[in-house]
Amino acid sequence: MQTTWAYTSNYFVYSAMALFTISFIAHAFETAFAVRAPEVADATQGNLLVKTLDYKRTEKTARIATAMMILGFLLLLAGVICRGISAKHVPWGNMYEFSITGALAFTGAYLAALRKYDLRWLGVFVSFSVLITLGTAITLLYRNSAPLVPALKSTWLVIHVTSAIISGGVFLLANVVAASYLYLERVESRGPRPAWLQRVPSLEVLDQLSYRLVAFVFPLWTFAVIAGAIWAESAWGRYWGWDPKETWAFITWVAYAAYLHARVTVGWRGRRAAWLCIFAGSTFLFNYVYVNVWGTGKHTYSGL
Partner 1 sequence: MSQETEIPELGFLGLARYAWRQLTSMRTALILLMLMGVAAIPGSLIPQRITNPMAVRDFITQNPALSLWYDRLSLFDVYGSPWFSAIYILLFISLIGCVLPRSLEHFKAMRAQPPATPKNLARLEEYQKFDTDSQVLDRASTWFKQHRFRVLNEGQSLSAEKGYLRETGNLLFHLSLILILIGVSFGSLFGMKGDAIVNVGERFINVPTSYDTLSFGKLTGEKSLTPFQIHVDKFVAQYDPATNAPKDYTAWVTVTNDGVTRKETIKVNEPLTFGNTRVYLQANGYSPVVTVRDSKGDVAFQGPVPFLPQDGNLRSIGAIKVPDAIPQVGFVGSFVPTNSRSAGQGAISIFPELLDPKLLFSVWKGNLGLDSGVPQSVYRLDTTKLTKVGLGSVKPGETFTYPEGSITLETVVPWINLQVVEDPGKKYALVGGIVAVLGLLSSLYGRRRRIWIRVTSDGVEVAGLAKNGAPGLEAEIKNFLAALKGEK
Q: Which of 71, 184, 187, 215 binds partner 1 (CB under 8 A)?
A: 215
Q: Does 218 bind partner 1 (CB under 8 A)?
A: yes
Spell out, one character per residue from 279 to 298, where the chain touches partner 1: x when CB under 8 A holds, - when not: ----x-------x---xxx-
Minimum CB distance to partner 1 smaller for 97 or for 243: 243
Q: Does 162 bind partner 1 (CB under 8 A)?
A: no
**C-alpha distances out from residue 82 to 19, 89, 132, 246, 301, Å:** 18, 10, 21, 30, 21
Provide, rounded to whole angstroms, the least separation between the CB of residue 281 and partner 1: 13
| d(C-alpha 248, C-alpha 277), whole Å | 16
Q: In the 8-state DSSP scheme, what is residue 89?
A: S
Minimum CB distance to partner 1 smaller for 11 or for 236: 236
Whether the Cβ atoms of residue 28 and residue 124 lie closer than 8 Å to each other: yes
- Kindly indicate which of the ranges 16-24, 107-115, 187-195, 211-219 contains the residues binding partner 1, using the contact rule CB under 8 A: 211-219
184-203 residues in contact with partner 1 (CB under 8 A) are none
- The set of long-range contacts for 249-258, using a CB threshold of 8 Å and a minimum separation of 24, is 249/224, 249/225, 249/287, 250/225, 251/283, 251/287, 252/171, 252/221, 252/280, 252/283, 252/284, 252/287, 253/221, 253/222, 253/225, 255/279, 255/280, 255/283, 256/171, 256/214, 256/218, 256/221, 256/280, 257/218
Spell out, one character per residue from 91 to 130, where the chain touches partner 1: x when CB under 8 A holds, - when not: ----------------------------------------
Minimum CB distance to partner 1 smaller for 73 or for 231: 231
Q: Which of 57, 60, 186, 238 binds partner 1 (CB under 8 A)?
A: 238
| d(C-alpha 16, C-alpha 281), whole Å | 26
How many residues sit close enough to partner 1 to count as binding (CB under 8 A)? Answer: 53
Q: Which of 233, 272, 289, 293 binds partner 1 (CB under 8 A)?
A: 233
Q: Does 248 bind partner 1 (CB under 8 A)?
A: yes
CA 227 to mean position of chain CA atoms: 22
Identify how many contiguous H helices and E strands the chain contains and give both numbers. 9, 4
Residues near partner 1 (CB under 8 A) are 1, 144, 146-151, 153-154, 156, 215-216, 218-219, 222-223, 226, 229-231, 233-244, 247-248, 250-251, 254-255, 257-258, 260-262, 264-266, 283, 291, 295-297, 302
